[in-house]
Amino acid sequence: MNNTKILIADDHAMIRAGIRALLGEEKEITIVGEAATGKEAIEKYKDLQPDLLILDISMPDMNGMEVTQQILKEDPQAKIIILSMYDDEEYISRCIEYGVMGYVIKSETGTELAQAVKNVLVGQTYFSDQVQKIIFKRYSTNLSKKKPKEMEVELTKREIEIVKLISEGLTSKQMANKLVISARTVETHRANLIKKCGVHNAIELVKKVEKLGLI
Amino acid sequence: MEPKAVSILIVEDSFIVALHLKTTLEAEGYQVIGSCSSGEEALRFVEERKPQLVLMDIMLNGKLDGVETATQINTKFNIPIIYITALSDKSTIQRAKITQPFGFLTKPFEDREIFTVIEMALYKFEIESRLKESEEKFFTTVNSISDAVITINQDFNILYMNPSAEAITQWPLSQAVHQPVTNVLNLEDEETGELNVNPAQCTLGLRSAGRMPERLLLHTKMGGKIPIGESSLSPLLNVDGKGRGLIISFKDMTEKRERERMISEVELKRTMALIEGQETERNRIAKDLHDGLGQMLNAIKMYAVLNRATDERASDMGKLLDEAIQESVRISENLMPAKLRDFDLAICLRSFCSQASDTTKLDISFEGRDHAMAMSQSCKVNFYRIAQEGVNNAVKHAKATTINVQWLESGQYAILSIEDNGRGILMEDKQKGKNGLTNMKDRAMIMGGTLEIEGDLKRGSLVIVRVPIEKIKEHE
């Protein structure tokens, strides 16, 4: 691994300087360029053909996720590490979906970033400690939330009440009177229920809910 | 009755009769101010001297006879006339009758008879004048007030309409008279568009006054709709106190509604500006914190890490810096979640719910499609804030343990609902606009939507924001 070319894209000069300083310790690495906006990052990537792009998400004009998509569309082999302040699951999973090879949160830089650079350059992925924790947590919540297929629909108390009344043949107006709520609210519940249960009409709805054993 | 110095004109072609009358009347205290022998002369005299009473012989010298003279006097002046006549043929009396005389003296007559007829005439004249006056007063009042007034009888048929009522309903009185009131006063409820019973029919038979409901639309004859209100229904009573109809009065509320609408529009614009200003400011501060302070702290940390080898306290400093960075991110996120910039509403809501669930350890779930429709940033922020506020209320005030946020794009509406199993939103809070309810309502309103809140102990509370999809597309 000699003389690896790296491009840094971040709208803050201070951060760019910081990354430069951090990576400057590695002798075989050359920072070939810096970009302050998303568009500049794409242009410089084309011009400089770096081996690695360290990319921020929050940038003026184009965010890091869009830059990632654009670059990978033209160069599927591109190696991108996201270095962002965002530690939300949404950003992380979206970046992974778009094909970044590493994700490091800014506040953990230092050894994490250096390690990420090393891994990605040899073709491995690298997700920092904190990022891994976030991904794992989401994965485990998803697992624990996953119910047997039949039970995938969760209904609120009101919704169950409404389905019961639908099955008794009441009209929206009658239900509204009975529950002392507005007819519009009943309509909202109905629409929600039909969407939620993936059915097309009230009859299918009642059948499905009965099948689920909710009433 | 003491005869007063009433000024009298005698129109009589027989000098002898005239003189006798004059003497008799003056002896009784009346003031005879003139005596004419022809109709023409009498007209000139009346014009000049305006007597209070005219004694008019039907047979006169000159072209005009007494009846013709009386007719002319009647058209110009309001003076009581008494006919003196020897004639008693039916056609003459018929002719004389039309001029509405105040009395007849048939020759030959006795003196006492004259006084009686004169006093009767004067009395009748006074009563009639008073009646006329009060009638005129009444009619000018009814006709000139801006309120519409419609009078109907017991069969719900129109008896009378004043000009304001004619103008509002576009029914001319001549056509409206005898029509059933429902034809002319064709009403519907402004909100529901329905009205089965005409409110004008409800009070009928009752003796007490009432009013029609507010927010009524009147269908005019030409098919227009005019908002009316501030009505009153008063029974039309007979002398014996029995109701024989109803007086309906109401106002054209078009201008008032327009004014109200303008005021609420101004209010809405003000609220919109306020909320948008607030969000812009939050956004700016969030950005400053995130991109300014946060990045600076990050940079500082990078350098601190670089120096770790040379300074032992650097790792402590690093920890402090981490906390500072996290704090700046947290404050920034609270002010304006960065996600709102980069993701659609459904993702933001889902993420918000899972984060809220993590921090509160409560069951806070999101239901809805994976992606929400495209919308303006301000719409997205408004929906998001409402959800935030709603969940916040459910946790803090309603003490809920399960909260469900739903996003639905269905038909013509986008619907955000927040439902919980807490102790319900108290009506008191709802009325006072407590717990950020006003803010939620304002946000719903500036998107062109509505916010409904309901709640009770058994079912918890439910907030529904409903915005027409068209409005959301307009904003975009």
> Domains in chain A and their CATH numbers?
4-142 (3.40.50.2300), 149-211 (1.10.10.10)
pLDDT value at position B438? 84
Nearest by CB to B343, from A87, A90, A188: name it: A90
Q: Cis check for the bond before B213: say yes or no (omega within 30 of 0).
A: no
Instruction: Give the pLDDT of residue B1.
Output: 45
Contact B306 A184 (CB under 8 A): no
- The answer to whether residue A143 scores a pLDDT higher than 80 is no
Q: Closest-CA residue in chain A for B455? A: A181
Residue A7: burial class (beta carbons within 10 Å; 0-12, 13-18, 19+): buried
Contact list in B for residue A191 (CB cut-off 8 A) is: 408, 410-411, 415
Kindly tell me if the per-residue pLDDT of A101 is higher than 90: yes
Backbone angles phi, psi at B294, to 5 degrees: -60, -50
Closest-CA residue to B189 (of B171, B215, B156): B215
Q: Which CATH superfamily is domain B145-252 in?
A: PAS domain (3.30.450.20)
What average pLDDT score do residues A113-119 get?
A: 90
Nearest to B286 by CA among A136, A15, A86: A86
- Classify domain B339-475 by CATH architecture: 2-Layer Sandwich (3.30)
As given in the structure block, the two tokens for residue B12 are: 């009589």
Q: Within 13 Å of residue A170, how many CA atoms lie on the same side as its CB? A: 19
Residue numbers in B near A186 (CB within 8 A): none
Distance from CA of A14 to the nearest CA of B (A): 6
- Return the closest-CA partner of residue B246 out of B169, B162, B154: B154
Q: Check B415 against A191: CB less than 8 A apart.
A: yes
User: pLDDT (tens digit, 9 = 90+) per residue, B43-101?
Assistant: 999 999 999 999 999 888 888 889 999 999 988 888 999 998 876 677 877 888 888 88
Out of A21, A58, A111, name the one closest to residue B338 (CB). A58
The 3-state DSSP class for residue A177 equals helix
| Contact (CB, 8 A) for A52 and A79 | yes
pLDDT in the model for residue A8: 95
Query: Tell me, what's the ipTM?
Result: 0.77
Residue B446 CA to residue B271 CA, distance in Å, equals 8
Residue A196 predicted with pLDDT over 70: yes
CB < 8 Å to A86, chain B = 338
Q: What is the pLDDT along chain B (476 residues), one digit of tens a residue?
A: 454 588 999 999 888 888 988 999 999 889 999 999 999 999 999 999 999 999 999 888 888 889 999 999 988 888 999 998 876 677 877 888 888 888 888 888 888 888 999 999 999 999 988 988 888 888 888 888 888 999 888 888 898 999 899 999 999 999 999 988 888 888 888 777 766 556 555 554 445 567 777 788 888 989 888 998 888 888 877 777 777 788 888 999 998 889 988 998 898 888 888 888 888 888 888 888 887 788 888 888 777 777 665 566 666 777 788 888 888 888 888 888 888 888 999 999 998 998 899 889 999 989 887 788 999 988 999 999 999 999 988 888 888 889 999 998 877 889 999 988 888 765 556 556 565 788 888 899 889 999 988 877 777 888 999 999 998 888 76
Q: How far apart are CA B87 and CA A175, in angstroms?
A: 87
By Cβ distance, the residue of A14, A86, A156 closest to B296 is: A14
What is the distance in angstroms between the Cα of A128 and the nearest Cα belonging to chain B? 15
Lookup: tokens for A102: 């590493």
Across chain A, mean pLDDT equals: 85
Contact of B460 with chain A, judged by CB distance below 8 Å, is answered with: yes
At the top level of CATH, the class of B7-141 is alpha beta
Quick one: closest CA in A to B333, which residue?
A86
Contact between B252 and B148 (Cβ < 8 Å): yes
Give the closest of B299, B321, B417 to A15, CB-based.
Answer: B299
Model pTM?
0.65
Q: Would you state the structure tokens that stand for residue B139, as one six-digit string?
A: 């009619």
Instruction: Please state the domain extents for chain B.
Output: 7-141, 145-252, 254-336, 339-475
Q: Is A191 exposed, middle or buried (0-12, 13-18, 19+ CB in 10 A)?
A: middle
Burial class (CB within 10 angstroms; exposed 0-12, middle 13-18, buried 19+) of B382: buried
Interstrand relation of A102-105 and A126-127 (parallel, antiparallel or unpaired)? parallel
| pLDDT tens, residue by residue, A80-89 | 999 998 888 8
Alpha-carbon dihedral of residues B48, B53, B57, B61, nearest 10 degrees?
0
**Does A149 score more than 50 pLDDT?**
no
End-to-end CA distance of chain A: 66
The distance in angstroms from the start CA to the end CA of chain B is 90
Contacts (Cβ under 8 Å, ≥6 apart) of B343: A90, A94, B351
Nearest-CA residue of chain B relative to A94? B343
Structure-token pair, residue A192: 């929600």
Rounded to the nearest 10 degrees, what angle do helices B295-306 and B314-335 cross at?
A: 160
Confidence of residue A2 (pLDDT cuts 50, 70, 90): low
> To which H or E segment does residue A91 belong?
helix A89-98
| Residue B298 contacts A, CB cutoff 8 Å | yes
Asked if B460 and B420 count as a contact pair (C-beta separation under 8 A), the reply is yes
3-state SS record for chain B:
CCCCCCEEEEECCCHHHHHHHHHHHHHCCCEEEEEECEHHHHHHHHHHHCCCEEEEECCCECCCCHHHHHHHHHHHCCCCEEEEECCCCHHHHHHHHHCCCCEEEECCCCHHHHHHHHHHHHHHHHHHHHHHHHHHHHHHHHHHCCCEEEEEECCCEEEEECHHHHHHHCCCHHHHCCCEHHHHCEEEECCCCCCCCCHHHCCCCCCCCECCCCCEEEECCCCCEEEEEEEEEEEEECCCCCEEEEEEEEEECHHHHHHHHHHHHHHHHHHHHHHHHHHHHHHHHHHHHHHHHHHHHHHHHHHHHHCCCCCCCHHHHHHHHHHHHHHHHHHHHHHCCCHHHHCCHHHHHHHHHHHHHHHHCCEEEEECCCCCCCCCHHHHHHHHHHHHHHHHHHHHCCCCCEEEEEEEEECCEEEEEEEECCCCCCHHHHHHCCCCHHHHHHHHHHCCCEEEEEEECCCEEEEEEEEEHHHHHHHC
The Cα–Cα gap between B396 and B417 comes to: 18
Q: Which residues have a Cβ under 8 Å from the Cβ of B283 and sit 6 or more positions away? A: B335, B336
B252-280 pLDDT per residue, tens: 999 888 998 899 889 888 888 888 888 88
Mean local confidence (pLDDT), A26-43: 91
Cβ of residue B301 closer than 8 Å to a chain A Cβ: yes
Q: Which residue has the tokens 């809805």?
A: B368
Task: Say if the Cβ atoms of B454 and A91 lie within 8 Å.
Answer: no
Contact B303 A18 (CB under 8 A): yes
